[in-house]
Amino acid sequence: MNRADLHTHTTASDGLHRPAENVRMAAEAGLAAIGITDHDTVAGLEEAREAAKAYGIEVVPGVEISTARDGQDIHILGFYADDRDPVFLERLASQRRVRDSRNELIVAKLNELGVSLTWEAVLDAAGRDRGPDETVGRPHIAEALHRMGAVESVQEAFDRYLAEGRPAYVLPPRIAPADAIAWIHEAGGAAVVAHPGLYGADAAVEALLRDGGADGVEAYHSDHTAEDEERYAAMARRFGAVATGGSDFHGARKGRVYHGPIGWRTAGAAVVTELKSRASHHRAKATGAASRDDGGTASD
Ligand code: AMP
Ligand code: ZN
Ligand code: FE
Ligand code: FE
């Protein structure tokens, strides 16, 4: 077996396990590689890379960037972007500022609805030892609602309050999917449209592959049906794009694994090679553009 799970979350965002634990679980599942794709942060990558040495598997460095199109959340995965690029890091920091103020608005809406949740309770649910680059997300708010007894499960918190269309849902001013794709490319990474089956907007996904510069689409995902998988694999072939796959593992609460366990959806080794090659193409272009900006060797 030579498979890679290219979509997992850690405690750097709303996952329940530390990056090193995800790597260990991937090794135990017999995977050759694991992608670490936290929401709007690369804070988990260093620990994951360190752990990967001990467990003898490969880490595919990633990120999952929150964007919106026509009032709907669209997630863009970035693979092999330079996680020390200061411009990229500042862009991710700006995403986290938007996220923080959105989170406050969600808490305010809940308070208006008569649910007396505090921000401190959300931070408690997220775990107090969070680093400054780690993100807080709706699953933490859901967990806090559960702990205070306002709902009977994390799922109920989404269904009653936090999901799109529910009364405490807030869509903050977000960048467009094409912006996230450009950020990833400028940082020398490959950009992939995450879980397209959750959007009900195939024409928009096609447009991102055709004109938006996306390198691939996440055809295989824990929340996709078999028909979704076939449809997006075919879409990838049609546009000469990469078809990636991953579980979107977030850990388990009370025995219920959100999205899927590590290894539940995977991609083959050729997909990892293709992502690397596309990333190095973008990196070469980005470096070329930077050296031209510096007045460096341009055209001879
Ligand atoms: P955020 O980035 O803070 O908006 O949180 C997004 C995360 O919330 C996703 O990665 C999912 O794990 C989780 N999530 C989003 N919508 C739902 C839903 N309807 N039910 C359960 N979990 C959800
Ligand atoms: Zn998440
Ligand atoms: Fe996502
Ligand atoms: Fe995700």
In a domain, 299, yes or no: no
In tens, the pLDDT along 122-171 reads 999 998 788 889 999 999 999 999 999 999 999 999 999 999 999 999 99
In a domain, 238, yes or no: yes
Nearest to 30 by CA among 62, 61, 60, 56: 56
Report the atom number in ligand 1 closest to the C-alpha of 140. Answer: 3
Model pLDDT, residue 254? 66
Distance, CA 296 to ligand 3 centroid (Å)?
39
Ligand closest in space to the Cα of 14: 2
Label residue 289 by pLDDT band (50, 70, 90): confident
CATH classification of the domain holding 278: 3.20.20.140
Q: Does 66 sit in the ligand 1 pocket, CB within 6 Å?
A: yes
In a domain, 57, yes or no: yes
Q: What is the tally of structural domains in the chain?
A: 1
Parent domain of 188: 3-293
| 25, pLDDT greater than 60 | yes
DSSP element (H, E) containing 73: strand 72-79
Label residue 255 by pLDDT band (50, 70, 90): low
Q: Does 251 sit in the ligand 1 pocket, CB within 6 Å?
A: no
Nearest to 140 by CA among 112, 114, 130: 130
Work out the average pLDDT over 92-121: 97
Model pLDDT, residue 216? 98
Helices (H) and strands (E) in the chain, counts: 10, 10
Model pLDDT, residue 298? 46
Pairing of strands 252-253, 256-257: antiparallel
CA 71 to chain centre: 19
In a domain, 114, yes or no: yes
CA distances from 31 to 34, 57, 121, 152, 223 (A): 7, 7, 37, 35, 20
